């Protein structure tokens, strides 16, 4: 059975060729250790559709968000690594989201966003929902400090809603913000970063629990491929400068953050 390998979290059209180069190299590496897999490019970025794909036995390797892993995927997959974002991630592969508002609104700190309209990607997003709730919890204990959130379905859509004045504040994955600032500057122009989310492990790369290869072999394959010198151009194009080994246990830090976020932005 040929299974799929995908990197759906940052595969924007502008960097698709570089994502493809990484996936093709990963496919060859996994074939060498007895796992027949080929690159896959999910047509839908809808969260529910991605969840179905991540749980599917036909998915060998993919990339998700830390919160869905903790709440729903840990019975299906094992974490092997995370990408290290240039100028963003620390040495462990952890990062903080950027929290943005329109410059014209005048808010310069999180303490000044009372009454504003948050937009989140979806309520199972570590970067889009949880990080925003935790950050707001640093300046208030009042769940009515901001208006009830609206959902966009994706970080680019959240930024567009800010530009269209259909929402006022959002927490954006920093890798995505970096990519969109470079390739779609109209989405980020006129926005101000007024804060950051908590330090969290970046989006996990994980393998299915149904596999022939050992977890350590899978991890070694991912680390070796993404670190190859010949893929330096692809890494730079995406905005990453490496890959860091990670395990399921690294994401245990997320559960306490969910409780804090829920107190301010209840799901």
Residue spans per domain, the chain: 3-87+201-250, 97-198
- pTM score of the predicted model: 0.96
Q: How confident is the model at residue 223, as a pLDDT? A: 99
Q: How confident is the model at residue 45, as a pLDDT? A: 86
Taking 70 as the pLDDT cut, the residues of the chain under it are none
Tell me the two tokens of residue 1.
């059975």
Distance CA(132)–CA(171), nearest Å, equals 5
Which neighbouring-strand residues pair with 100?
A: 170, 193
CATH architecture of 3-87+201-250: 3-Layer(aba) Sandwich (3.40)
Q: How confident is the model at residue 4, as a pLDDT? A: 98
Judged by phi (left if over 0) then psi (alpha if -120 to 50, else beta), residue 87 lies in left
Collapsing DSSP to helix, strand or coil, 115 comes out as coil
- CATH (residue range 97-198): 3.40.190.10
What confidence tens digit (pLDDT) does each residue in 93-119 have?
999 999 999 999 999 999 999 999 999
């Amino acid at each position: 059975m040929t299974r799929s390998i995908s990197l759906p979290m940052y595969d924007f059209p502008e960097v698709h060729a570089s994502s493809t180069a990484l996936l093709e190299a990963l496919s060859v590496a996994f074939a060498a250790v007895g796992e027949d897999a080929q690159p896959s490019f999910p047509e839908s970025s809808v969260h529910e559709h991605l969840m179905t794909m991540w749980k599917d036995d036909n998915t060998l390797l993919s990339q998700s968000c830390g919160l869905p892993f903790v709440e729903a995927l840990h019975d299906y997959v094992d974490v092997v690594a995370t990408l290290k974002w240039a100028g963003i991630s620390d040495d462990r592969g952890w990062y903080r989201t950027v929290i943005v508002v329109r410059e014209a609104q005048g808010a310069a700190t999180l303490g000044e966003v009372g009454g504003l309209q948050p937009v989140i990607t979806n309520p199972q997003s570590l970067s889009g929902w949880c990080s925003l709730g935790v950050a707001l919890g640093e300046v208030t204990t009042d769940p009515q400090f901001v208006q009830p959130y609206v959902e966009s379905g994706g970080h680019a859509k959240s930024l567009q809603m800010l530009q269209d004045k259909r929402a006022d504040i959002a927490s954006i994955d920093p890798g995505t913000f970096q990519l969109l600032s470079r390739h779609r500057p109209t989405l980020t122009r006129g926005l101000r970063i007024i804060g950051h989310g908590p330090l969290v492990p970046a989006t996990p790369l994980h393998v299915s629990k149904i596999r022939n290869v050992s977890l350590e072999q899978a991890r070694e394959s991912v680390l070796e491929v993404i670190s190859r010198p010949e893929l330096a151009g692809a890494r730079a194009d995406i905005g990453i400068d490496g890959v860091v080994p990670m395990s399921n246990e690294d994401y245990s830090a997320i559960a306490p953050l969910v409780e804090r976020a829920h107190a301010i932005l209840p799901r």
